[in-house]
Amino acid sequence: MGEGGLEEDLPYGAEDMASEAKLSDSNENGPILPPTVDMLPEEGFSLREWGRQNAIRVEEKEKMEKEMLKELIDEADEYIAEYKKWKIRCDNSRASNREKDKVRFIN
Query: φ, ψ for residue 12 (rounded to 5)?
Result: -60, 135
Tens digits of per-residue pLDDT, 25-72? 555 677 777 777 776 666 788 888 999 999 999 999 999 999 999 999
Question: Are the beta carbons of 18 and 6 closer than 8 angstroms?
Answer: yes
Query: φ, ψ for residue 77 (rounded to 5)?
Result: -60, -40
pTM for this prediction: 0.46
Distance CA 13, CA 6 (A): 13
